[in-house]
Structures are given as structure tokens and as C-alpha cells.
């Protein structure tokens, strides 16, 4: 990998195995000479491949015309010289101008095609981005907030800071954080346009201004390095097949000395009385089912290891139990009803038998029964953890 | 075209910010283009629907304009930048001193952006040229950012590029 000089904040890399050449960061040279090495790297990558070369510009944040023209010159010349060569340029739906700029290449040169990368980042994404998930997220945040509002200050939340909530969902958490802690800046990022639209409406309805809702891919964010004092990412590492990629990004955008705060579950530890066994069975099966979608909903207690491996220090981990006694038990019941619906759909998709699905659903219903039972108890445990980016 | 300004649309644009700098200082460091465009883009985008992406998009366009003034400007005088807004459009008004006789080239380049063959010219430029010309940079703005460009020469020898960028609708 070539990392160009200090003044050029960009990276160029070539992976011969996957035949992917990638350009990332901000490339705004005054003259071509400043990027000669990178141009050369593209030429070499083209020489090294047979058939297709993927040119990945998903993480290209800025590129001026000087750089654009220099790189495409190499690509166009190569196509003219080699009729066997195909170039596939991969842009991101997040960075609007790259798609608009690169799309012309397929008009100019039939050997080049341009693909816009969007969604399907990981196997379970379509379920999570489904709009029917919105009311569940709403109720979940309402319940977790009762705990988190007292937990957050221990992890670095305080007034006047710059914070980001990554995978913000419908944005309730950002609104609550804004009201309670008055940070100076809040950026809230998610990859669901529906959730963001909802978030903006909710904020407007409540007269909350100043939250910067943004569409983005958490594993490849447009946000610059070292910008935030506090970065939160709630209930989301556990749904990515590569949580470490996401953590790397969270690490990148937090300032040295700032903290990243994550919450995750261990679904098999959801519990209830009465009907404990049926509940237990279902949540064990749930963890197993979601692992087929490469989601690790058992991640909670692994937070410490993930944070340490990502390079954080001063790691704090605590857990709390959301229960039916926290507030209105009906809220708890509503969340579980939402889970039942969503997870039964996933079980069907995974090809489980009708008998399995009946029994699976029954556990959620028993959890609801426990939550609403006058002497019942129902719990949903969550791990909240944070780490500091070393100075 | 060129210096003729439609007063009714002019008044409807609300000023967002104004920035100026001695040309000598501006020209002392290439990084000024990047820094000024990133900084101002963030300032004016904070109340857009998607501030982060609007800012990224806007910075990209503004940087090209600043680079034009960096490459073509002279040290005597100031670079002046004003940004206005009307609905989903930002107007960038960029003035800088340029060598006598150069205004003509800007006039031509700007007028080409408004002709029906702008896209074809742009494609031709990017498929054949090694480095971007002043003309292809302005065509890039017209083609890729749907920008409308005008030139105001009333403050000669300084020229003013007036560029309307309807980015809000493209971002969200
Ligand atoms: C389980 S929800 C958690 C939402 C919110 N943090 C909460 O606690 O209510 C996961 C969120 O991650 C978002 N998401 C999924 N993939 C993403 C990606 N690649 N980049 C950003 N957000 C993503 C989904 O749209 C969804 O809103």
C-alpha cells in the first residue's frame, strides 16, 4: 500500500488476489507529479491482472479534476491497448459526485463499466433496514434510555462535546442525548433512508434542531478522522458480520483521548418467569438463527475484547437489565411482539420447519406473558462498554 | 449574457457568508483551496437535510473554483468569495484579479458551459486531455453538478464567477 505524502490524505492499494485497486481519502494535488507514484501503481495493477480489474472508489472522499483526469487517462489508454481488459469502477451511493463523475467513463469506453455500491453490506441487512422495524427501535430506545441516561456520563458523555451516533436508526437516541446533555454538535448516521426520513420528521416535530442526520455506510464513512469527543454505536456491532471493520471506523473518527461507546446484547440471556424454559429455548435458538445471517447477537460480553483489539485503552464494561418493571410493562411486551414478527420471518427465510417456527414463536409469546403477568418478571440484558482512543 | 444580472432572482438569494483574503496570501499555499472549501462547505451545510453529504458535495465544487482562481489569479488584490442561498440552490460568487486580457478566456469558457454541446465537449476533454483545462473544469461543474455559470466583468481587471449549484436536490 502506498500512503502518499503528508499533504495528500489518501491511500492507494492493490490487492492482486481480488484484482481490486482502491483509491480512498482526499486527493487534491496541484500537479500530476504529486501523485505520480499512485498513477504508476494503477498502471502496474492493470498490467498485473487478466480480464477484470475492479477500481474501488467507494471511499474516495474528494478528488479534484487534476487527479481525476490523470487516473482516467491511465484507464482509458489501457483499454485502448488491451482489448481483453475490462474495468469495473465501484462508486458509492453515499458520495454523490463520484458516481456522477465516473459514470461518463462507460459512455466513453465500452470496456469500462460503473457500478454503484449500495446496501447488501452484510447478510442480514435487508431485515434490519425494513421499515417495519421502526416501531421496535422506538420502543427499545425508550426502555434503554432509562438506564443509559445515568450510565452515559461514566463513559464520557458531557455537555458541550462533539458527538456522533453511528447506526442511529430512527434517531431517538440522538434527540434524547441532545436534550439531556446538550452536546455542541451531534452527527447521526445510518444507512436506512426510511429511518433517517423518520428521524428528521421526529426532530422537526419536537422542535429539535442541530442534529446532523446523514446517510452513510458505517463501515466506510465520509466523516473525517479525529473529529469527535464521543462516538456511540448502539445495538449495531452485533448485526454486522465484521464488527471489527466498523470499530476501526469508530476509532478513526473519534479524537485521541475521546471515547467510543457501544451497546450490545447477549440474546440467549433474555429471561422471564413464569415459563422460563420456553423463553430460554427460543432465545437460544434466536442466537443460533441469527448466526446463520452472520449476526452475533451474543456479542455483549465480548465487547471488552473487541475494544481492546481495536486499539482502545481504559476500557469500561457494564451491563444492565431492561425489565418489565422499569416502566409500562406494555412497552416491554410491544418490543417482544416486534421481535417475534421479525425473527419468525427470518426463521422462515432460513428454511425452518413450521413446527420449529411455532415453538420459536411460542417463546416470545411466553416472554410477553411473563412481562404482563401481575407477578411476572421479564428481562433483556444489555452490555454497555466504552474505550478511549490513546492520546 | 455575462454581466447582465437578473435583479429579481438576485434579491431572492439570501446571503450566507462572505470571505476574502489577500491574493498574495492565498497564492502562497496550494492547500488553501482544500482548506477553505472544506471549511466553508461545512459552515453553509449545517442546516441542509444531510449536512455531511451536502458539505462533501459542495466542497468538491467549491474547491474546483478555488483552484481555477489559484491557477489563473494574480497577486495584486484580493480573492473574494460570497455564498448565497435560494431554496435548494447555493450561489457562489468568486472574484479574483487576473492578468489583463485573460477575462476573454473565462468569458469563452463560461459561455461554453451554457451551450447544448457542453456534455459532448466535456466528454471529449476527459477522454483526450492529460490535464484539465480551465474550460473542462467549468464544464465539469455544469455537467456533474448541474451548475449554471455566469461571468461578471464589472470590476475589471478582477473577474467574478457566479455559479449556481443546486446540490440539495441531488444529495437528498
Ligand atoms: C439494530 S439497529 C440499531 C439502531 C439504533 N442504534 C438503536 O439502538 O435503536 C441497527 C441500525 O444499523 C443500521 N445500519 C445497518 N447497516 C448499516 C451500515 N452499513 N451503515 C450504517 N448504518 C447501518 C440500520 O439501518 C439500523 O438502523
Residue nearest ligand 1's atom 27 by CA? A169
Q: Ligand 1 atom closest to Cα of A233?
A: 6
> How confident is the model at residue B7, as a pLDDT?
47
User: Omega before A154 cis (within 30°)?
Assistant: no
Domain A2-117 has CATH 3.30.750.24: yes
CATH of the domain at B18: 3.30.565.10
Supply the range of the domain harboring residue B71: 2-171
At A273, give phi and psi (nearest 5°): -140, 135
Q: Looking at the complex, does the CB of residue B109 fall below 8 Å from at least one CB of chain A?
A: no
Cα–Cα dist A63/A51, whole Å: 27
> How confident is the model at residue B4, as a pLDDT?
44
Q: How far is the CA of A132 from the centre of ligand 1 (A)?
A: 14
Flag whether pLDDT at B17 surpasses 60: yes
Contacts of B127 in chain A (CB under 8 A): 76, 108-109
Burial class (CB in 10 A: 0-12, 13-18, 19+), A252: middle
Q: Give me the mean pLDDT over the A300-321 stretch.
A: 98
Q: Give me the mean pLDDT over the A338-363 stretch.
A: 95
Give the three cell numbers for residue A86.
475490462
Ligand 1 neighbours (beta carbon < 6 A): A 121, 125, 128-129, 137, 140-141, 167-169, 190-192, 195, 217-219, 234-236, 239
Q: How far is the CA of A296 from the centre of ligand 1 (A)?
A: 14
| Number of structural domains found in chain B | 1
**Bridge partners of A273?**
A377
Contact (CB<8Å) A104/B63: no
Percentage with pLDDT > 70 across chain A: 95
Q: Give me the mean pLDDT over the B124-145 stretch.
A: 93
> How confident is the model at residue A249, as a pLDDT?
96
List A residues 38-67 in contact with B (Cβ-Cβ < 8 A): 61-62, 64-66
Contact (CB<8Å) B52/A216: yes
Q: Looking at the complex, does the CB of residue A241 fall below 8 Å from at least one CB of chain B?
A: no
Q: With contact defined as beta carbons under 8 Å apart, do A212 and B52 qualify?
A: yes
- Does the pTM surpass 0.90? The reply is no
Give the domain ranges of chain A: 2-117, 125-388
Cα–Cα dist B111/B126, whole Å: 19
H-run or E-run covering A383: strand A377-388
Distance from CA of A70 to the nearest CA of B (A): 6
When the pLDDT of each residue in chain A is averaged and rounded to a whole number, the result is 92
Q: Write the CA distances from A137 to A140, A173, B36, integer angstroms.
A: 5, 10, 40
Q: What is the pLDDT of residues A21-53, one digit of tens each?
A: 999 999 999 999 999 999 999 999 999 999 999
Choosing among 3.40.50.2000, 3.40.30.10, 3.20.20.70, 3.40.50.150, the CATH entry for A125-388 is 3.40.50.150
Q: What is the pLDDT of residues A95-127, one digit of tens each?
A: 878 889 999 999 999 999 999 887 555 556 666
Residue nearest ligand 1's atom 17 by CA? A191
Q: Nearest to residue A265, comparing CAs of A293, A250, A279, A286?
A: A286
Size of interface A-B (CB pairs under 8 A): 96
Amino acid at each position: 500500500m502506498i500512503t502518499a505524502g503528508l499533504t495528500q490524505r489518501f491511500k492507494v492499494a492493490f490487492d492482486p488476489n481480488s484484482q481490486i485497486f482502491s483509491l480512498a481519502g482526499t486527493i487534491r494535488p496541484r500537479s500530476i507529479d504529486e501523485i505520480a507514484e499512485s498513477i504508476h501503481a494503477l498502471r502496474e495493477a492493470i498490467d498485473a491482472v487478466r480480464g477484470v480489474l475492479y477500481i474501488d472508489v467507494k471511499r474516495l472522499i474528494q478528488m479534484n479534476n487534476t487527479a481525476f483526469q490523470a487516473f482516467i487517462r491511465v484507464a482509458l489508454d489501457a483499454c485502448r491497448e488491451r482489448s481483453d481488459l475490462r474495468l469495473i469502477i465501484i462508486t458509492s451511493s453515499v458520495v454523490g459526485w463520484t458516481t456522477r463523475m465516473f459514470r461518463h467513463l462507460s459512455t466513453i469506453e465500452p470496456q469500462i463499466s460503473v457500478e454503484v455500491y449500495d446496501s447488501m453490506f452484510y447478510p442480514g441487512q435487508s431485515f434490519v433496514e425494513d421499515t417495519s422495524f421502526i416501531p421496535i427501535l422506538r420502543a427499545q430506545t425508550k426502555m434503554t434510555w432509562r438506564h443509559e441516561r445515568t450510565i452515559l456520563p461514566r463513559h464520557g458523555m458531557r455537555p458541550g462535546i462533539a458527538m456522533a451516533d453511528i447506526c442511529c436508526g430512527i434517531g431517538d437516541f440522538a434527540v434524547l442525548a441532545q436534550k439531556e446533555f446538550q452536546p455542541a454538535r451531534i452527527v447521526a448516521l445510518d444507512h436506512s433512508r426510511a429511518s433517517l426520513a423518520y428521524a428528521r420528521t421526529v426532530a422537526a416535530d419536537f422542535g429539535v434542531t442541530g442534529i446532523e442526520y446523514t446517510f452513510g455506510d458505517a463501515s466506510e464513512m465520509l466523516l473525517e478522522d479525529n473529529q469527535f469527543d464521543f462516538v456511540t454505536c448502539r445495538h449495531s456491532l452485533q448485526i454486522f458480520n465484521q464488527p471489527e471493520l466498523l470499530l476501526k471506523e469508530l476509532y478513526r473518527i473519534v479524537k485521541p483521548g475521546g471515547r467510543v461507546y457501544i451497546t450490545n446484547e447477549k440474546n440467549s440471556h433474555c429471561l422471564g418467569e413464569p415459563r422460563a424454559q420456553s423463553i430460554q429455548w427460543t432465545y437460544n435458538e434466536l442466537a443460533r438463527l441469527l448466526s446463520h445471517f452472520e449476526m452475533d447477537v451474543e456479542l455483549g460480553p465480548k465487547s471488552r475484547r473487541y475494544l481492546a483489539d481495536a486499539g482502545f485503552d481504559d476500557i469500561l464494561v457494564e451491563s444492565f437489565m431492561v425489565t418489565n418493571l422499569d416502566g409500562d410493562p406494555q412497552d416491554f411486551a410491544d418490543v417482544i411482539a416486534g421481535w417475534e414478527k421479525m425473527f419468525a420471518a427470518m426463521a422462515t427465510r432460513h428454511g425452518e420447519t413450521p413446527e420449529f417456527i411455532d415453538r420459536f414463536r411460542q417463546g416470545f409469546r411466553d416472554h410477553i406473558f411473563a412481562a404482563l403477568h401481575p407477578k411476572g418478571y421479564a428481562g433483556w440484558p444489555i452490555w454497555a462498554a466504552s474505550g478511549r482512543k490513546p492520546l | 449574457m455575462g454581466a447582465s444580472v437578473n435583479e429579481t432572482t438576485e434579491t431572492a438569494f439570501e446571503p450566507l457568508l462572505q470571505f476574502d483574503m489577500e491574493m498574495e496570501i492565498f497564492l502562497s499555499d496550494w492547500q488553501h483551496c482544500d482548506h477553505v472549501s472544506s471549511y466553508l462547505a461545512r459552515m453553509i451545510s449545517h442546516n441542509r437535510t444531510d449536512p455531511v453529504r451536502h458539505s462533501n458535495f459542495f466542497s468538491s465544487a467549491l474547491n474546483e473554483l478555488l483552484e481555477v482562481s489559484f491557477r489563473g489569479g494574480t497577486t495584486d488584490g484580493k480573492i473574494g468569495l460570497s455564498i448565497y442561498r435560494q431554496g435548494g440552490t447555493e450561489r457562489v460568487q468568486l472574484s479574483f484579479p487576473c492578468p489583463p486580457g485573460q477575462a476573454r478566456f473565462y468569458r469563452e469558457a463560461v459561455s461554453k458551459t451554457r451551450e447544448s454541446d457542453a456534455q459532448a465537449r466535456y466528454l471529449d476533454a476527459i477522454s483526450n486531455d492529460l490535464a484539465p483545462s480551465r474550460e473542462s473544469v467549468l464544464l465539469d461543474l455544469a455537467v456533474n453538478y448541474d451548475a449554471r455559470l455566469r461571468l461578471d466583468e464589472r470590476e475589471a481587471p478582477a473577474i467574478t464567477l457566479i455559479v449556481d449549484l443546486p446540490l440539495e436536490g441531488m444529495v437528498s
